[in-house]
Copies of this chain bind each other. A is one copy, B any other.
């Protein structure tokens, strides 16, 4: 250390040469991030606008007292059903713990009860929401630059985000009107392989998808599994909304999966509590190593998790565990009120769209999801950021441009409408405002 070191000329920022965005990871310069920020910023600038944009669960039944109760229920369960001492139970919930989680058995039980999915407890990794689950799987699968992931387009932005963080391209597969165009899936797999790329997995939301609201019918589900078998593809099934898919619930891909080809990604954000940030991944695939010892993919996801977040807050897990225990391990039972509310809102949306958009039925169209949080509105003009801003400012109504969910072109004339947080009044008034926008544009 010489004296001159401390006398070096300082920049105007006090000596430290600023970091430049161009020198940070490319994910940070991705235009998709700009879009989402734009939407948030418009929502903040026009707080009185009625929002069909956010996809958050209803707050109607939030109750902090219930959180306290669920924590106590889980502790009681540890004491009286697992035979732990008070000290042992406290340690499990308050100390560092198992990387794969402490409610893995309850998660496996819930999947058995609600979805007839039967997996070993060891194949469950409890994660910091479904977002971490997606990251873990993509980080594991992206081992070389030629690795890509296929996804139905439009695609949930969380999948695209996780893929960006591991520099993994997302190849779009057409949705078509049945939720996934299986011919296009085969075409894309073959095209990618001819280009020297490795399609590592195919990502799909089979039930009332975000953003489209489309569900795959049973035939499509079975055909998808056959295509995946023929092409030897792993399927990543995201099932965040399956519990709210309506009366006619269909078997999930994991339920139909007879050769452990499906990795299930799950979330308790919509079914228990967003504020817990608890999700999971089921990865019961075998992974032989160079000595031919076999472990589960879940074990490797756990290793990655140990380097990423160490473990999912056991305190937050305990609250989710208490909720599962309270409702006999069934999220269908736990969410009766919520399901009714979302179905009521869906009916209100359909009725409202028919009423307020009657003058435009020759020029607009909307789909009719079986449930979930979202539906798609197709319009005869470009639904871009500029229109969104005008919609918020002049008409007081917010929505999400469907283009946000496409990696390239696509969705330019579509709008995602969310109805999970609306009331009879906001839905009606919001759609009336939307009709005014349409009158102006159509």
- A→B interface (CB under 8 Å): 1, 5-6, 8, 10, 13-29, 33, 36, 56-57, 59, 62-64, 67-68, 71, 75, 87, 89-91, 93-97, 128-129, 131-132, 135, 139-143, 158, 161-162, 164-165, 182, 223, 226-227, 229-230, 232, 234, 258-261, 269, 273-278, 285-290, 294, 297, 300, 303-304, 306-316, 319
Q: Is the CB of B306 within 8 A of A161?
A: yes
Q: Pick the contact of A18: B223, B286, B314 (CB < 8 A).
A: B286
Q: How far is the CA of A95 from the CA of B289 in the complex (A)?
A: 42
With contacts A24-B143, A95-B274, A304-B165 taken as known, whether A19 is within 8 angstroms of B227 at the C-beta atoms is no
Residues of chain B within 8 A (CB-CB) of A276 are 313, 315
Task: Provide a sorted-by-A list of 30 A–B residue pairs whose CB atoms are within 8 angstroms.
Answer: A5-B229, A6-B230, A8-B229, A8-B230, A18-B286, A19-B297, A21-B289, A24-B140, A24-B287, A28-B300, A59-B90, A59-B91, A62-B87, A62-B91, A64-B75, A64-B90, A96-B274, A129-B309, A131-B308, A161-B306, A161-B307, A275-B313, A275-B315, A277-B309, A277-B311, A277-B312, A277-B316, A278-B313, A308-B308, A315-B319
Residues of chain B within 8 A (CB-CB) of A1 are 182, 223, 226-227
Q: How far is the CA of A128 from the CA of B8 in the complex (A)?
A: 38
CB distance from A269 to the nearest CB of B (A): 7
Residues of chain B within 8 A (CB-CB) of A96 are 56, 269, 274-275
Residues of chain B within 8 A (CB-CB) of A128 are 128, 309-310, 312-313
Q: Is the CB of B139 within 8 A of A25?
A: yes
Identify 4 new A-B residue pairs, CB closer than 8 A, beyond the known A16-B259, A158-B310: A59-B91, A68-B68, A128-B128, A158-B307
Q: Is the CB of A94 within 8 A of B315?
A: no
Residues of chain B within 8 A (CB-CB) of A16 are 229, 232, 259-261, 285
Residues of chain B within 8 A (CB-CB) of A25 are 139-143, 304
- Which residue of B is nearest A4, CB measured? B230
CB distance from A3 to the nearest CB of B (A): 9
Q: Pick the contact of A90: B63, B227, B269 (CB < 8 A).
A: B63
Q: How far is the CA of A259 from the CA of B11 in the complex (A)?
A: 10
Q: Pick the contact of A300: B24, B140, B158 (CB < 8 A).
A: B24
Q: How far is the CA of A131 from the CA of B269 in the complex (A)?
A: 23
Q: Is the CB of A143 within 8 A of B5?
A: no
CB distance from A131 to the nearest CB of B (A): 5
Q: Is the CB of B131 within 8 A of A309?
A: yes
Q: Is the CB of B258 within 8 A of A315?
A: no
CB distance from A328 to the nearest CB of B (A): 23
Residues of chain B within 8 A (CB-CB) of A20 are 287-289
CB distance from A73 to the nearest CB of B (A): 12
CB distance from A151 to the nearest CB of B (A): 15
Q: Is the CB of A259 within 8 A of B18?
A: no
- Which residue of B is nearest A318, CB measured? B275
- Which residue of B is nearest A297, CB measured? B19
Q: Is the CB of A18 within 8 A of B310?
A: no
Residues of chain B within 8 A (CB-CB) of A23 are 143
Q: How far is the CA of A62 from the CA of B129 in the complex (A)?
A: 26
Q: Is the CB of A230 within 8 A of B90?
A: no
Residues of chain B within 8 A (CB-CB) of A27 are 139, 303-304, 307
